[in-house]
């Protein structure tokens, strides 16, 4: 399940948010999206989700145009915590069931297999015991795992995670990473935006550097370097574990 971004330019009210971006992620990869605030990370996500209309270029998911990919439920999105109305009157199980709507008839009546998938997803996300909780009554990590479980229930082969480790304890971070590695092994393609540069080399096999355009992307061991970090952030970040020997010395 590949993500292909071709010469993508997005403008908001005359301001260029993303310019001539190219990206090609193959099946079975975890890619870390690295960039400053305002570098176009969310714009790239929105474009891959089909939420902004690019002024030029296109996005293909598994060689399909965005709209078709969405109809097949291929792309799952895990929102940032602040994008969610946590006071909304829905339970954890309700949210995860929303991942299945694309598979149901127009009345959205869950079938036996929908219920089974929801149960499996809740168990995988370690949220089965909290399934009847209103979503506002969860801890930061539980909230993340709820939306991760929804993405599992959706069975989208492409997953976009926006800052999944913000406000999450170490235990949950580890659990999420383990789950992502498992999904990667099943051929999922996962794109994660994160501020936690130190964890990149521990689980991302690909890195994407973004600053108004995609500066570089590729295997972590090849391109997660001080030079690329400096190009992305405009300064040297001394404490980041990068992969080239000469950087460390």
Rg of the Cα atoms in the chain:
18
Stretch 122-181 residues interacting with another protein (CB under 8 A):
134, 136, 150, 154, 156
Nearer to another protein, 75 or 207 (CB): 75
Could you tell me the smallest distance in angstroms from the CB atom of residue 225 to another protein? 34
Compose the 33-72 pattern: x for residues touching another protein by CB under 8 A, - for all others: ----------------xxx------------------xxx
Nearer to another protein, 94 or 247 (CB): 94
End-to-end CA distance of the chain: 38
Q: Torsion angle of alpha carbons 38, 42, 48, 52, nearest 10°?
A: -80
Nearer to another protein, 76 or 183 (CB): 76
Could you tell me the smallest distance in angstroms from the CB atom of residue 69 to another protein? 9
Number of residues that bind another protein (CB under 8 A): 31
Task: Return the residue of 11, 101, 211, 212 that touches another protein, per CB under 8 A.
Answer: 101
Could you tell me the smallest distance in angstroms from the CB atom of residue 233 to another protein? 28
Closest CA to 172 of 182, 180, 183: 180
Contact positions vs another protein (CB under 8 A): 49-51, 70-73, 75-77, 79, 83-85, 88-91, 94, 98-99, 101-102, 106-108, 134, 136, 150, 154, 156
């Amino acid at each position: 399940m590949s993500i292909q971004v071709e010469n993508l330019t997005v403008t908001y009210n005359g301001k260029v948010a993303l310019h001539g971006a190219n990206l090609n992620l193959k099946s079975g990869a975890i890619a870390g999206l690295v960039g400053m605030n305002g570098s176009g990370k969310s714009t790239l996500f929105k474009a891959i989700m089909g939420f902004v209309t690019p002024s030029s270029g296109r996005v293909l998911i598994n060689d399909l145009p965005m709209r078709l990919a969405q109809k097949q439920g291929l792309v799952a999105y895990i929102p940032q915590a602040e994008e969610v109305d946590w006071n909304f009157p829905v339970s954890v199980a309700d949210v995860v069931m929303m991942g299945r709507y694309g598979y149901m008839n127009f009345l959205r009546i869950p079938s036996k297999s929908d219920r089974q998938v929801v149960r499996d997803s809740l168990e995988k996300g370690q949220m089965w015991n909290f399934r009847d909780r209103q979503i506002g009554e969860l801890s930061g990590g539980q909230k993340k795992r709820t939306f991760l479980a929804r993405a599992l229930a959706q069975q989208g082969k492409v997953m976009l995670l926006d800052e999944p480790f913000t406000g999450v304890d170490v235990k949950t971070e580890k659990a999420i990473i383990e789950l992502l590695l498992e999904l990667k092994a099943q051929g999922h393609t996962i794109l994660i935006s994160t501020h936690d540069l130190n964890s990149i080399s521990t689980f991302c096999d690909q890195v994407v550097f973004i600053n108004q355009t995609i500066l570089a992307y590729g295997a972590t061991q090849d391109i997660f370097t001080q030079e690329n970090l400096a190009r992305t952030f405009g300064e040297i970040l001394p404490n980041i574990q990068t992969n080239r020997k000469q950087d460390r010395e």
